[in-house]
Chain A
Amino acid sequence: MSHANRLAGRGRIDRSKPIIIQFNGREVPAYHGDTAASALIANGILHVGRSFKYHRPRGVLAAGAEEPNALLDIDRGNGRRDPNNRATVVEAFDGLVTRSQNHWPSLKYDVGTLNDMASPLFSAGFYYKTFMWPSAAWKRVYEPVIRRAAGLGKAPTVPDPDRYVHSHAHCDVLISGAGPAGLAAALAASVDGSRRIIIADEQNEFGGTLLHDLTSTIDGLSASDWVAQTVATLSQRSNVRMLPRTTVVAYYNHNHIALNQRLTDHQSNPSKGMARERLWQVRAGEVIAATGAHERPLVFAGNDRPGMLLADSLRAFINRYGVTPGRNVVIATSGASAYQAAIDAKSAGLFVTIVDYRKRDEIGDERLLATQAGIEILDNHSVIGSTGRTQVTGLIVAPKTASGGVGDVRTLNCDAVGMSGGWTPVVHLVSQSRAKLVFDTALDAFIPGEAYQSERSAGACRGVYALDECLANGHEAGSGAGAAPSAKSSEATGFEPVRLMPTNRQKLRDKAFVDFQNDVTAKDINLAVQEGFQSIEHVKRYTTTGMATDQGKTSNINALGIVAGALELTPPDVGTTTFRPPYTPTTFGAFAGQARGVLFDPERITPMHDWAVKKGAKFEDVALWKRAWYFPQGRETMHDAVQRECRAVRESVGIFDATTLGKIEVVGPDAAEFLNRIYTNSWLKLKPGRCRYGLMLKEDGYIMDDGVVARVADDRFHITTTTGGAPRVLGHMEDYLQTEFTDLKLSLTSTTEQWAVIAVQGPNARDVVAPLVSDIDMSNDAFPHMSMREGKVCGVPCRLFRVSFTGEAGYEINVPSDYGEAVWEAVYAAGQPYDITPYGTETMHVLRAEKGFIIVGQETDGTVTPEDVGLSGLVSKVKADFVGKRSLARPDLVAEGRKQLVGLLTLDPDVLLDEGAQIVDDPQAALPMPMLGHVTSSYVSPNVARGGTGDPQQSGDGRSIAMAMIAGGHSRVGTRLYATTREGFTEVQVTKPVFFDPDGGRANV
């Protein structure tokens, strides 16, 4: 039976290259040049899938990108598998594995077919109505039914092993579509060589409809030869880039166009490392849309049986691929173009009958041509229905009567149907470009109106259907001099729009499909209108018409026409839905490109990263940085490791990688004045060599960032920012410098990555660091807390900060990044006699919380003032102005009852509060219970004594500690409140947010 439906001597397939593809495990012989669809048809496999809602048998409807039915799961081996591929655009190659979808247990015997009989359940608005049912019914009955029914393909279960790439390009003219209009445009636009041209077409070869046109001639050549000659001409022009297998998927602002090029899907064995797809982003001076038109099906009951195709698609299968779904063909049409399909089918040796909706006197010259070819024509006929199950066996037709009804019914036996309800220009791209669409009544179609961006349309996508006019139109769009290509063609154009074929069988069960992929019938659309939906956008959502993966390419105008008819409006009065990118389904891989895995987000690592990895550190992500989180030893848990690290810093000395802190060098004669305006504190009197903790507000008065600032020289400051805030702070400062404080002379330079920062903290910090340092007097008097010295450490130039985020005496050693790891190793070695302990960000958090130091973004959330967190002492009272000062006097910011930072100690020291836990005054209060605030930080501290506030001199037994933002918090210190826990409320003591060394003496030793 192989190639049973193959037509001798026809098609562009290469019969010298036989191949085998698989369909549901069955071997299907095919030829190079076939698509999966043509290969299946060639072997009589017409039933290729089940429909979405009713699980009706479906076959191939179209020959191209608009196909709604024939969706296949494609397996290219080695995990390269994806569902919902249109069989009509899948190129066949030897070994291609395809499977049908949406059925169980098999394509032939499908349980879901029951839905077809229960179809009243699935009428328009089914989802919406069902959601209103009692929830019990929903859970037990409807959800399982819908889940089983509403399956398109199955998602892949393993990561996509393919590689995808992105390319960027500029051109003067981008042409979408390489049919007659697109090719003529490309010839014209490229002829003088002055403009860069890109021409893209979604198919494997250029030519569009010319590839299945066996009768027309262009400039004296057959259509096929003219295509070959034109492609050869264009390929020799160096200013032309030709992209076959490339779909123009999206048209964005400012002529930014996205193209998706399929590179390997047609190959049996793509070379290793070859990208599967390439997403092009093109800036085009001008876009020429030559995207063609889609044929419309006729809407009648049972218009969806396998073997029933669009007429011109049937012609394409016969002429281009040399296949036919059957030998006994009925062409059902309401227009002229289908006559060429009938004539071509006849010349291929098939038995052909034409059923024409139009009256005899409405039919043009095409009638004579068909008659001459020996084709019987039933004019003035309606199609009532069809017979057959997994393949059409007959078409039920009847003559129309003068009263709008139909006469006696008869059945035309057939095994293939080509239907044509007219044509819809493919206006997706120009609609995406925001051009207005205008309805042309004569064409019964929306066509491009006034352009919005620099684009124009040529050929069938603007309703120009005759071949000769398409060529002239393309030539003109390409701004070509000289004569356009000239065609001779017997193809006729024009059609009479029919929304719904008249019938005498008005049974409610009749399934006249409008949207094949979402199983939306004419009855559904009429029902939606009856229920009051008038906007096409509402009808679309209520019925789901046009919302499947084909976005209604074959159905939208029929749906619109039915709505208009029901409302007694014209289509433009009903309006059209908005076309959105992408034009056809596009892989996630193409959009993601190389941005996967570690390349999805850049990773920033410090010079000491490898050391931490070797020490077994666990890492956490902070902004883009990988930061050492804790350093477990042996089989330590995170809790145990953090407790050990916390004790070590307080008892001896710890070493911590603080490189990720943002750093900005502020240099210039007005540097101090600039900081004076940017920070809340005063900077003019800070002496070189001294540091100050700075607080920065946004203009609205809320805390934006904080960090230690050192004055390096009169005209030079070294600023630190939070890890995540560095770019934001630099941007904020640049903004004020460039746009407001333009009177100041200074420069801002990000130095975050120039300095590696090694924090050495603890009572033994000086003893560890001092021996490594030269040129700096390390004594406490000469180098006190909150100061900075320049000198050398291990012979490397450094900025040595004496600062503390732990409350212990300590240093932050800044050395050029390249020396970071070496100096770190030297410090670590020098610290061995003191059992120096590397610690991570978690310990850093616990230690600072013991001291009540805030973390911007944890205690603050963009609505917190300095006063709220007890830092009003840092806000200068004497400065006339700084960023945010005026806002601090806004009524809301000085109002009573603002949330303020406090400490919380659970009465049970073993209870650890959840960060984010709500705080209430009275757990018995009526609902909704008034909430006072929430926990911002919560840790188990080994250093705070169990009873209460920690003893500064000795480590306690450890207990939980927390910080919280609570309404009127400062005045609640000493009272008791309740915090939510997973088990209920727990009582907490409100304290000042300092749990350890409240006098701060330890940092000054």
Chain B
Amino acid sequence: MSNTQQLEDLTTQVRRDILRMVHKVNSGHPGGSLGCAEFMVALYNEIMDRKDTFEMDGIGEDLFFLSNGHISPVFYSVLARAGYFPVEELSTFRLLNSRLQGHPTTHEGLPGIRVASGSLGQGMSVAIGAAQAKKLNNDSHLIYSLHGDGELQEGQNWEAIMYASGNNIDNLISTIDLNGQQIDGSTDTVLPMGNIKDKFEAFGWTVVEIEEGNNIEAILEGMADAKSKTGQGKPVCVLLKTIMGNGVDFMMHTHAWHGKAPNDDQLAVGLELNAVTLGDY
């Protein structure tokens, strides 16, 4: 897939999947999922060099780790629509006996997932380990990871950030979803984190900023830039400025939909704003 329109159509369908998944079980995290929909679609369908089949070790392909596991709806939708498992299985999200647990896990054997996440702040360490395994295996492919901005409040991230530059982990592109929101409010009101770009640079990372993190072309351009900066002795951080709830107007620009599902009427509005493109599951 390379056509921007195709990626946008897929994003619209992913938004529908997210809304329908969380609505059905009246739980889950639509806000951050919608905010990262363009990024995840672009990553899996254009940016990553990946195999069609799933093998845990992922030798000879790029790998992705989702650290902020609560945006599982977008992850599941993108994985299913990339062919890792049947799209119909999205209807089992958060139900008993489902492989689509509330937060992603390897425990139920869902193809596409390489580590459990949900308890925040652990994904970057895992991504670094996978990046070091790639180096040991002389595998030149890259490791991608995604983290929430609020998630950076977890101290383990800073252990990992310090380690990655100190050990020249230059086959890693860690993206921070800068939506400025977390459960209790804006990141600035909950715990101001100062200038995140300055912090990553002070820790020895190369930083790429994507100002329009919900614009497919901007994402493709920014990630190509990030990719070009790998292999130069430094880990690469992408600061992706997104709008939480993007594509569903009443969910945008607020933390209110971080972990809340739409009711029937709200779902109808959200779906109307995002007409079917590829077909619902």
Are A and B subunits of one complex?
no
**Residues of chain B whose beta carbon lies under 8 Å from any beta carbon of chain A:** none
Which residues from chain A sit less than 8 Å from chain B, CB to CB? none
